[in-house]
Amino acid sequence: MTSDPRSPAAEPWLHGIVACGLRVEAVAVRRALAVRGLQVRSVPAGAARGAWTAVAGRRTVAVVLSGSGAAAARAAAGFWMPRTRRVVVAGAAEPTGLVEPPALVLDGDPGMLVAARLASAAAVAAIPVAEAPVASVTSAPRSEQARAALREAGIAAVDHESDTWRAAAQLASADLLVCRSLMTGPPPSGPEPAGSGRPGWLRGLAWLLRRDRLGPAEARVAAAAPAAARAAVAALLGAG
């Protein structure tokens, strides 16, 4: 059941949200908020479970764990988009070779992109920042031929959720920035990170039960995610 966008509860009250498909990405964003001295509180139940909020002065931001994939992102966007007018899709992404990793790739509305680049210079000084398109795919490109086709189309990185959030933001007349850290090393030959496609709260439970045993795919995400997290928080709250 979706909320009525005309109800007072659905009026935009958040300064912005950071949307993550994987728990390791959301954990990195929560840590980036904590580094600023902000208290991060979990949303305990209901349609907003799998989310956390933090208050910086008069600005409230939310970290949203959707779960991986377009369907999961669509469900999360249906709940959260009426409540905000700024969205940063943050985390790790598979490079195509157009931009050499490690790097931070920014793709989005011009106003947010300029602010993010300025803020990211202070927040992520260790890696280059590139402005280039990010596209969503159903599965990561495994062959050089597939990556070459993406490069020819001008795509620098691929993920599973940004196009869904982009479409939702466009319908809501909201500002959106895609902020992706490019992963290094070859992608594992096995399946996508464990839990892909499950609701965020269910993936979180699975992660808690095996939090000391990150697989190779999740480890690649975990290594890249902090840079995107710091830049995402900086894009919403400024360099700090």
pLDDT in tens, 32-51: 999 999 999 998 766 667 89
Tell me if residue 64 falls in helix, strand or coil.
strand
β-pairing, 129-131 vs 104-108, is parallel
Q: Which domains does the chain have, with CATH numbers?
A: 8-237 (3.40.50.1580)
**What gap in Å lies between CA 207 and CA 66, rounded to an integer?**
14
Based on DSSP, count helices (H) and strands (E) in the chain, helices before strands: 7, 10
Quick check: helix, strand or coil at residue 155?
Answer: coil
**Residue owning tokens 């399946």:** 191
Distance between CA atoms of residues 94 and 107, nearest Å? 15
Write the pLDDT tens digit of every residue in 46-61. 666 789 999 999 999 9
Per-residue pLDDT of 186-230, as tens digits, reads: 775 544 444 444 444 444 444 343 444 568 888 999 999 999 998
Measured on CA atoms in the order 196, 120, 184, 30, is the torsion positive or negative?
A: negative
d(CA 185, CA 187): 6
Q: Give the separation between CA 67 and CA 73, rounded to whole angstroms.
A: 7
Q: Hey, what are 232's tokens?
A: 């995402």
Question: What is the pTM (predicted TM-score) of this model?
Answer: 0.84
CA 110/CA 40 separation, integer angstroms = 29
